[in-house]
Amino acid sequence: MIDYRQRERNKLKWTRGFLSSFLITLTIVYAFYFIPVPYYIYKPGTAEEIKPMVKVANGDEEEKGAFMLTTVTMGRSSIFSYLTARFNPNTEIRKKEEVLRGSSEEEYSTRQEYVMLDSQSSAIQAAYKQAGISYTIDSQGVLVMQTIEGYPADGILHPGDKIVQVGSKPIVKHEDILNELKPRKAGESIEVTVKRGKTEKKVAVTLKDLNALDKETGRTGASGGAASGEPRIGFGISTAELLEIAPEQGNKKVTIDAGEIGGPSAGLLFSLEIYNQLTPGDLSGGYRIAGTGTIDAKGTVCSIGGIRQKIVAADREKADIFFAPVDRKKGECNLGADVPNASDAADQASKIASKMKVVPVATLDEAVRYLAGLKPKT
């Protein structure tokens, strides 16, 4: 006789076992591929032509070659991507705390966007200086870079907010905020108008004595108040000014639109593209010129991170020349350690058997002179 009830019990038991195994497997797969671990993975990004990003009023746009900025793709790591990256010679793994340095991811993103804008301002100044064009610097507003947990602005102002007005005072530069807050008292509420994305918002912030908060929290130097030693009534934020570089010759105005690319490392290549459009002739000489390096207003080129990944990106786009910052020692360019950029770039180019020539440079002038001395590419 067939025991149908036993058969059904066995079938139910098998089904439960299968579903349990399936769910356990699914959980393991999800954890392996999707749950982030406290590391960031740096991979080769892109090498992008700069000419479409840079416009010079009445500039000379002759350019048979190309100037290309190089990028690194950065993302949070899963267990799978972490293990994969360990066996990929073209990737770099960095701890989360080393990347964020105590900031939130939102604050880090805002900082990267700002340093790109600041880098563009420096690149324009360096190119004007190289071309002998006089210019002025005007402040165009103040950005919130960071809010401090437990301080008045926490949760009210956001990183990336552009402060338009504080109380009745329109804000153009950081000093405008300090001057408006100086006569205020702790406990007083003040209206702050900010531009967040494309929207203007009005928010109320209750001011506090930052000195007292610093003492309570063990922090020092929270932003938003008066100078040290005086009453410091404020928000508890760090800010940065947006600058406009205006040439005395109006027909030499430079505008840059780099889209969503962040970070300061395209400074040198922006300067080269700008200088090429500011001056007659074709500085590119028909070559595909990639590179990286921060730049200051004087034209000094300083070190960056991710140069090995950028070498790979440039090689993929068939660059002929790669400008790399010279190896810098600790203390140079405010570096906290030695950074062998040019040596690492040359080593990586050799490892991937690239035909690209790596050229170390310390200044914009060195890069311009190098290109000016080349025979045009045929």
Q: Which residues are catalytic?
A: 265, 310
The 10 Å Cβ neighbour count of residue 75 is 11
DSSP character at residue 50: S
CA nearest 262: which of 128, 111, 125?
A: 111
CA angle 236, 241, 242 (to 5 degrees): 140
Residue 71 has, within 13 A of its CA and on its CB side, a CA count of: 17
Amino acid occupying residue 63: E
Look-up of token digits 């950081």: 174
Residues 38, 44, 50, 52: what is their CA dihedral angle, to the nearest 10 degrees? Answer: -80
Alpha-carbon span 114 to 369, nearest angstrom: 30
Give the tokens for residue 65.
Answer: 């070659």
Residue 182 burial (CB count, 10 A): 15
d(CA 100, CA 298): 29
DSSP secondary structure string for all residues of 234-290: E--EEEEEEEEEEESSGGG-EEE--TT--SSTTHHHHHHHHHHHHSSS-TTTT-EEE
Residue 365, burial from CB neighbour count under 10 angstroms (0-12, 13-18, 19+) = middle
Q: Helix count (H) and strand count (E) of the chain?
A: 10, 18
- CA Rg value for the chain: 27
